[in-house]
Homo-oligomer: A and B are copies of this chain.
Amino acid sequence: MSSLFQQHHDALNKAIEALRQRTFYAHYPEHPKAYGPDAPAQGQQAFENQLNHPFTQLLQTGATAQAGEEESPYWGTSLGISYPITPVNTLVSNAKTALAAWRKAGVKERTGILIESLERVKNRFFEIAWATQHTTGQSFIMSFQASGPHAADRAMETIALGYTELTRFPHSLRWEKPAGGGAFITLDKTFTPVPKGVAMVIGCSTFPTWNTVPGLYASLITGNTAIVKPHPKAILPIAIFVAELQQVLHENGFDPNTVQLAPDTGQHLITKELAEHPDMKIIDYTGSSIFGNYIETLQSKGKTVFTEKAGVNSVIIDSVLDLRQVMRNLAFSVSLYSGQMCTAPQNIFIPETGVPSADGLIPYETVVDVLKNEVASLALNPKMGAGTLGAIQNPTTLERAQSAGKIGGTVLLESPPVKNPEFENARICAPTIIEVAAKDADLYEREFFGPIVLVIKTENTQQSLKLAQNMALHHGAITCGVYCTNEELAQHITDEMNSVFVPVSLNFTGFIWVNQHAAFSDFHVTGGNPAGNASFTDALFINKRFVWVGNRINM
């Protein structure tokens, strides 16, 4: 047994058990203070030292150029970091060369190395937080949690499920079939999980590690070699993961090219060339539906594809206990990182007949007013507003948000003007709220990525449900918030949304939001509707990456 496996055996077992129980578990605590008093300053220093310098920590081979075009949505300026650029054929050829040894390493050796890499990354969570903030536009605390401990926990989750699946059958055994008269037919059998080959992970600009490491670690634990193709605007956070992986691989006698970083630039994007390469067997993707649909077509060429695309997330409001608590919760959900989370609600269905509450029936107009006020209050709260919103990653998202009034419908709330005193050049934008009629499906049956919220005025909850269900079926959905105090109706709505493979979050108020999916407990994306064909982390996410092959030896 490898010493790294022994060293991390306890952590592995805890993760396996957590995954099975699905109760609360975090291997990497989300509180920054858990990482010691020196970590924040060290992380900041490391990030600042990296600015305006080439990234030289990778051990991979074959680069022919250096380039980089990251810029901070807070500063509005380039980070000045360049990365090695490697030709596609070299990347794939490197990955193929590294495959034999990694495949033969076996599950325990791979498990030890992969967990060790996360332990090394742990020491750089603050540096990753800075890198994430100044590429994605997330607030510092969200950058820390999402790209550091939460991402590392999702990676740990795939290692744990990978280990479980790869060891679910004995790798060798003797098979004895009674042949009559006390005799036996005897075979020695082996069962080997054979990796599919070379894998790639296509990263997104908003969650460069959280959305990348599950596929990356899932491909690696199952014995594939992997190429990480980050978004050209968000490389540094995942580059740190790759550098630490390569370092641990190298220290343990493996080819650092077992995992490679494949940055590209807006001028010369390599994603299609990499994905279409005949030796590319597995593709993980997070991003727009248009490109995701193209990636899914590559399945017809025998490639294994995992996608997380866009969805249109709904909130169905039927009845509430305390309307203000509900709207305060929703205001936070739609404002957090300016609606740039794939789990953020977009369409809020409210019946024109009003919403029953503990204080009686609240008329539709009042319901909408309370929502409007809570969103505006949060945005304009000097202590909360700028920090909750963060910055807009992509200028196009900002433009769309700023011209949201032209979508159609009635503008209920114009994006409240928010300033971030710390970063005066930040691309910042609070939500716009637009009211549309139920009949105007063409207005709300699509994703408006960013801080745009639609209130859909419906006849009643049955219509709200039908519209939300239909939208999930045809356009996909990752989450659905439901507010309903009638237990039977709540169950009905839940069943109906579940039947189109959308999870329901019921009556969320207080310090829990529909946007958050916890590692080891919540599946992220179900894989059952057009929002994506895969789920973090179900058994398919692991098992599709390798093939069981059983050999029989006559004794």
**A residues adjacent to B (C-beta < 8 A):** 20-24, 165, 168-170, 173-179, 185, 187, 189, 191-192, 194, 196, 297, 299-300, 494, 498-499, 501-512, 518, 521-523, 526-528, 535, 538-540, 543-544, 547-554
For the complex, give the distance between the alpha carbons of A264 and B554 in Å. Answer: 44
B503, B509, B549: which contacts A550 (Cβ < 8 A)? B503
Contact A521 B24 (CB under 8 A): no
Q: Which residues of B contact A168 (CB under 8 A)?
A: 20, 539
Residues in chain B near residue A194, CB distance under 8 A: 498-499, 501, 528
CA distance A526 to B544 in the complex (A): 12
Closest-by-CB residue of B relative to A300 is: B300
A511-B185, A547-B528 given; A552·B498 CB < 8 A: no
Q: Please, which residues of chain B bring their CB within 8 A of the CB of A544?
A: 540
Whole-angstrom distance between the Cβ of A102 and the nearest chain B Cβ: 13
* Contact (A543, B547) CB under 8 Å given A187-B512, A518-B177: no
Q: Which residues of B contact A506 (CB under 8 A)?
A: 551-554
Closest 8 CB pairs of A and B: A528-B547, A506-B553, A507-B554, A24-B177, A498-B549, A504-B551, A501-B547, A539-B543
Q: Which residue of B lies closest to A164 (CB)?
A: B168
Q: How far is the CA of A393 from the CA of B521 in the complex (A)?
A: 52
Tell which of B173, B494, B502, B543 touches A22, judged by Cβ atoms closer than 8 Å.
B173
Min distance, Cβ A38 to any Cβ of chain B, angstroms: 23
Set B165, B498, B510, B552: member contacting A505, Cβ < 8 A? B552
Please determine whether B549 and A176 come into contact, CB atoms closer than 8 angstroms: no
Indicate if the CB atoms of B169 and A22 lie closer than 8 Å: yes
Q: Is the CB of B528 within 8 A of A176?
A: no
A173: which of B21, B170, B510 is its contact (CB, 8 Å)? Answer: B21
Q: Could you tell me if B175 and A23 are in contact, using CB atoms closer than 8 angstroms?
A: yes
| Nearest CB of chain B from residue A295's CB, rounded to whole Å | 13
Q: Which residues of B contact A543 (CB under 8 A)?
A: 538-540, 543
Task: Point out the residues of chain B lying under 8 angstroms from A539, CB to CB.
Answer: 165, 168, 539, 543
Q: Are A522 and B552 within 8 A (Cβ)?
A: yes
Report the Cα distance A168→B21, complex, angstroms: 9
A-B contact pairs, 7 of them (CB 8 A): A22-B175, A23-B174, A299-B299, A503-B551, A508-B552, A538-B543, A538-B548
Does B550 lie within 8 Å of A508, measured CB to CB?
no
CB distance from A245 to the nearest CB of B (A): 24
Known: A22-B191, A506-B554, A528-B547. 16 other contacts (CB 8 A): A23-B174, A23-B175, A24-B176, A194-B498, A194-B501, A498-B551, A501-B547, A502-B549, A506-B553, A526-B547, A526-B548, A526-B549, A535-B548, A538-B543, A540-B540, A540-B544
Which of B177, B187, B300, B511 has a CB less than 8 Å from the CB of A299?
A: B300
Please, which residues of chain B bring their CB within 8 A of the CB of A528? 194, 196, 547, 549
A549 to B192, CA, bound (A): 31
Known: A539-B165, A543-B538. A522 touches B550 (CB 8 A): yes
Contacts of A550 in B (CB 8 A): 503, 521-523
**Which residues does chain B contribute within 8 Å of A522, judged by CB atoms?**
189, 550, 552
Of chain B, the residue at the smallest CB distance from A190 is: B494
- Chain B residues closer than 8 Å to A512, beta-carbon distance: 185, 187, 554
CB nearest neighbor in B for A174:
B23
Which B residues lie within 8 Å of A501 (CB)?
Answer: 194, 547, 549
Residues in B neighbouring A300, C-beta threshold 8 A: 297, 299-300
Contact B551–A527 (Cβ < 8 Å): no
